[in-house]
Amino acid sequence: MGTTGCSARTSLDRVMAKLESVGINFLALDFDQTILDTHTGGRWTGSSDELIPHVRPVFSNLIQAATSGRIQVAVVTFTGQVKLVKAVLESIVGQQGAERIPIRGNDRSWQYVGDGSMDGKQPHMASACEELLTNNPGIKITKNTTLLIDDDPKNIRHALADGTRAIWFNPHHPNKLYSDIVNQLE
Ligand SMILES: [Mg+2]
């Protein structure tokens, strides 16, 4: 137990050091099958309490570390059940912490009207970025300081084609995430 906790901690420290060394200040995270170990399909009929056990520890730890440091976080998702997303985030970082995490889902609560890419999660990230810049006037977020993590290879391809950093999350090997971040980012 002690050893496992210790090595997991070390690995997360390496991830945070890597993100900082390559200048990432914005993590855009997919929800279904990425933060969660299940796919709600936007049709979750259970309570949010029933969804919380499906949060992957690699993501709850990453989100806590990012938000307690200088890295902004957003959830970019195709689900329309953003209230569930919010409840899950509150379970990870508390109510105040969750207030600072923009959620961009398919719920028509937002619209991206910029001239950037409309493919995959690109408009979601661009819109979330606008909110973060409004709430944090001092920071500067670019595609090169953004990292999308998503289990859908299509969204990764769209991000990379648009010049946004992105790492494919393998839902079958969640514990590879930290080493993938450390090894793939440059
Ligand atoms: Mg997904």
What pLDDT digit, counting tens, does each position of 99-120 carry? 999 999 999 899 999 999 999 9
The pLDDT of residue 10 is 62
Taking the centre of ligand 1 as the mean of its atom positions, its distance from the CA of residue 121, in whole angstroms, is: 11
Among 107, 86, 91, 100, residue whose Cα is nearest residue 31: 86
Mean pLDDT over 9-15 rounds to 85
| Half-sphere exposure at residue 108, Cβ-oriented, CA atoms within 13 angstroms | 0
User: In this structure, what token pair is assigned to residue 137?
Assistant: 């006037």
> 68-81: string of b/e by CB count within 10 Å (b at 16+)?
eeebbbbbbbbbeb
Q: CB–CB of 174/7 below 8 Å?
A: no
pLDDT tens for 45-97 read 999 999 999 999 999 999 999 999 999 999 999 999 999 999 999 999 999 99
Q: Which backbone phi and psi does 162 adopt, to 5 degrees?
A: -95, 5
Taking the centre of ligand 1 as the mean of its atom positions, its distance from the CA of residue 28, in whole angstroms, is: 12
pLDDT at 6 over 80: no
Helix 57-68 × helix 177-184 angle, to 10°: 50
The dihedral sign for the CA sequence 151, 157, 161, 167: positive
Residues with CB under 5 A from ligand 1 (ion): 30, 32-34, 151
Taking the centre of ligand 1 as the mean of its atom positions, its distance from the CA of residue 76, in whole angstroms, is: 9
Question: Taking the model in full, what pTM does it have?
Answer: 0.94
Q: Which backbone phi and psi does 75 adopt, to 5 degrees?
A: -105, 125
CA distance 150 to 84: 18
CA distance 24 to 3: 29
Q: Which domains does the chain have, with CATH numbers?
A: 2-184 (3.40.50.1000)
User: In this structure, what token pair is assigned to residue 156?
Assistant: 């990764």
